[in-house]
Amino acid sequence: MKHSAKVNDSILYPNATLYFFLALVVTWIGFSHSYFRNLAENDIFHHLHGAIAGGWIIVLMIQPLLYKQGKLALHRKIGKLAVYILFPLLILGGLKMIHSMLNNPSAYPPGATIMLAFLDFYSILMLLYFVYQAINKASQLQLHARYLSLTVLAMLPPAIGRMLFYIPWINSFEKSLNVSYSIIIIITGVLLLDDKKRGAIYPPYKIAMVLFLIQLISLNFVGQWQWWASLMTKFASL
């Protein structure tokens, strides 16, 4: 009992499971029209990618509960399975989705696939970095939890962007993307302020703020990068 109490006292985000659940709800709403209403029209790769991405968020929902209950052995076991099996599948699925998108440009606004490919590749690199750091800092709760939380923020913009189209003011593809990533930056800023209130600002959110800002700014210029368009043409031909 004493061990469990000690674990509970050290919980970083007591409501973490609720936050991750809200992220799952946002994802479901965002893709409700383009994916869930057209399940039969999507291929097996889209189904697998959606299930794996949802599975990753569900794991992050479960992990804080296990930690809070003092079930650290099970927490570590599930974490290892997620990192070494689920996460690689998530990355491979993301690459497959980029490849499919580049080979189906007619389904997107003109020039959108090049921009989206950049955003997706950038997000994949961020996910790799955040998960690597989470593994590397597994023994440091303050860093480990923050880096894993950031994986969800990196995954959310596609769902948020689709949700924004329900707002009349969001009437263009570019506006939706800019607002989506601005929302992620605002959320990161709120997390930084929360850290400040707790008395210490840790590196993960500061690093993420810079990375998200670069992503937001770059999306407005990537359409002018001929080298990127050429690189994506080569990737699409693989």
Task: State the number of CA atoms in the 13 A half-sphere of 49 facing the CB.
Answer: 18
pLDDT at 2 (0 to 100) = 38
Q: Tell me if 116 sits within 8 A of 147, measured CB to CB.
A: no
pLDDT at 6 (0 to 100) = 42
pLDDT at 8 (0 to 100) = 42
Mark out the alpha helices in the chain (DSSP H runs).
2-9, 16-30, 44-68, 72-81, 87-102, 112-136, 141-155, 157-164, 173-198, 203-219, 226-236
Give CA–CA dist 161/141, Å, rounded: 32
pLDDT at 39 (0 to 100) = 67
Q: What is the DSSP string of 182-218?
A: HHHHHHHHHHHHHHHHHT---HHHHHHHHHHHHHHHH
Domain boundaries, the chain: 2-236
Tens of pLDDT, residues 152-209: 999 999 999 989 988 888 888 899 999 999 999 999 999 999 999 988 899 999 999 9
- Taking residue 11's Cβ as centre, other Cβ atoms within 10 Å add up to 14
Q: Which residues of the chain have pLDDT under 50?
A: 1-9
